Structure 1
Amino acid sequence: MKKPRSWRWLRLAVPPATVLLVLLTGLVLFELEQPDEDDPAYLSPASTAAIGASTLADGVRAAGVKIARVGGTADAFLPENRGDVTILLTTPQFVHPEYLRRLALLSSATRVVVVEPSRETLLRGQVPIEGTDRALASGVSAPGCDYRPATDAGRAGVRRTRYGPVNQAGEAQLARCYDDSLVVLSRGWTTMAVVGSADPFRNDRIGEFGNAKLAVGLLTERPLLVWVDLHHREAPPKPEENPYQGGPTRQPTSTAGPTQTAGPDRPSGTPSGGRTTPQRPSAPPQTPSPQQSERQNPLWHAFPAWTYVVAVLLAVAFLLYALARARRMGGPVVEPLPVVVRAGETVTGRGRLYQRARAREESLTTLRSAALSRMARLLRLEPGTHRETIVTAVAASSGWPQHTVRDTLFGAPPEDDGSLVIAAIQLEALVEAVTTEQPDAEGARR
């Protein structure tokens, strides 16, 4: 008769499979909820989608600021976009690192707003911020600083990517707000604001808390906003456009104050007001040293934050699986032994193992423990009885002298195999003397 199929394995497989399914479903839903930055609608001033930024663009225009939408970072360096402007980089990871480095050469009247750059983007663009810590979702916090756009906005949902300290050796930090999620620093001639979340710019999140005031405040400090609407990786600049390779260079200019362009009647670096302004070198910033790169690239930040969450959840799932495997599924089941081994063979095999290991002391300790347990049961001695009490009781029962009983039960360990055999024989004789009835002083039998 065919044995019925057992479904007991489902008790072990279903719990971890359910946990794993829930984890995978959560991860898939989380990834689907994240916007694709290569989507043309992402933070586009002309898009009314949830991830678009048409609401922000309307708010900027309502504040009297003109918007110049460009499709590449190179267009932001055109003459008509220079001077008293704000440059918005919504997808900095698509910007070529060379353009990020050139931002330091713009005029002092230019402001740059960068939306949620990653650590790799900052490192390639040589932005002097020493690291990032990115959360799974944006959080809300108070400004915690005196930066005007932040104080006007109040609490905002910008705390997602938190940035480390600014490298004070090269640039200066001007403000740090929202628990390190909004950092304003000087970058060459320009002022750069690094924003840790895209939520204040999106149509579906701009109405929450003070997001709208914060985003509009960051982008309306200059009369012109150059909106870089980029959704693909840029090609490197052409050699003739690269000021570091002998191409035409541009001195910083400003439309908000005295011109800073060198003329025939004024040396370079001297404004029309007669004050001497220190000039920044036109050479690109130096590449970070290996020590700096190693300090800025710890292993903890080498992987996305979600990988650590997945690792923790998998560890929890494995622990639950281990607990499910370890717990008893029901009552004990009596099953026939596959092989019956004689007791004598077991004793002989164990003895040979002790002999091979030369465990003389352990062997005699095992024999003494078994003998003491047997005699204590016969003499009705409680567990934990003092040694001398045991010796007295055993000597009285066996008729042996107390010193002989003490040496037999608690003597020194044997020095060789011969001593072990003698001690075992003497111990067996003592047990035999206790378990065998002895005549008393009057000849009566116990």
Structure 2
Amino acid sequence: MSLLEVPVTAAQPPGTRRQRRRAGVLVGALVLAVLLLVALLSPRTNRESMSPSSVAPAGARALAQVLGEQGVRVREERSWAAVQDALGGAGAGAGEGATVLVTAPELLSADRLRALAASGADLVLLRPRAAALEALADGVGVGPTSAAADRDPGCAVPAAVAAGRARAGGTAYAVAPGAPALSCYGGSYVQVQPLEPGGGRLVVLGQPGLLTNRWVAQEGNAALALHVLGGREELVWYLPDPLDTESAPVPLGQLVPGWVAPATLLLLLAALTAALWRGRRLGRLVPEPLPVVVRAAETVEGHGRLYATAGAAGRAADLLRGAAVRRLRAVVRLDATAPVTDVADQVAWLTGRAPAQVRELLAGPAPRDDAALVRLAGDLDALERSVRGDSPRKAIQ
């Protein structure tokens, strides 16, 4: 009888388990506190184009930080309601102490643009289109576009004169004779004078690149941006949301191009034609009988006749020897990877034959003719019978 030994561990006192749980809770609380502190101290930045909190080359975080250091409060807003709240309401003169920068004027209706102009705030539009100019600036139209390049002001506007050479190009704007507007930098900067006393000025920038992180430190870009955007105590940086519209939602059918429906119908017809073409049948299905079952003896005889017809005595001998070696491995208790020499030595020990004779029989040269092949088959059969017979030196079962 064997003894079964079971290790016995001493039970831990309840106080030790409570201390370990308390230590785990403290470690988890410390990790959460560190993560919360990192999240609070990390700067809230993004990589959005023309955003005052974007650190991307096309962002404007550098300019926003400089404006903040100059005492200008920069507010990033994305909805019309938030802009109205930042200006102190929707009444006339409510935004006299603020500057409103609109990064995408094409997303605002004419009524909203006029409301911003009537608020008394300085209004800066980036690359406005003809519809926005028609609503706010008579006599100012969209001109040709040009490659970005540094240019001299070419005007008497104080902000441009103080900035000097700056980045220009992009969309140019043409000022009609007699219009209350001044054009600088080849038309990429237009300042429209207020039409009413106490009203805000309108600045049109056709080259927003001078405000971005990539170009604001070049030439006089920073000075021009600070003069345009830092003239008042508060800057409302308005990035209009395309979904924040004052009109009813546009039906999906009006947003989809007109060619989508015909193209979809054409694709469906093509798919149906391909299905009919590839799925055609030349007649009813014809049942096919199962293959004939052949007895194993007939298969062996058929293989033998094929080897005899081809004169493949060597191939037949290899098959006979391979089958014999596989069977002998199982009899002498060797694994399937044992080499032929080991099998021959074990068989020779069991049968009392000479090892060299058994090796030649199991792995010797190929027979020269059919008679030699027949003798080989008989010798292999006799060898197996002698191994399986009642030998006094038979392996222990």
Q: Same fold (TM over 0.5)?
A: no
- Give TM-score scaled by structure 2 length: 0.45
Name which structure has the greater RCO, CA cutoff 8 Å, separation 6+.
1
- Give TM-score scaled by structure 1 length: 0.40
Please tell me whether Structure 1 or Structure 2 has the larger radius of gyration of its CA atoms.
2
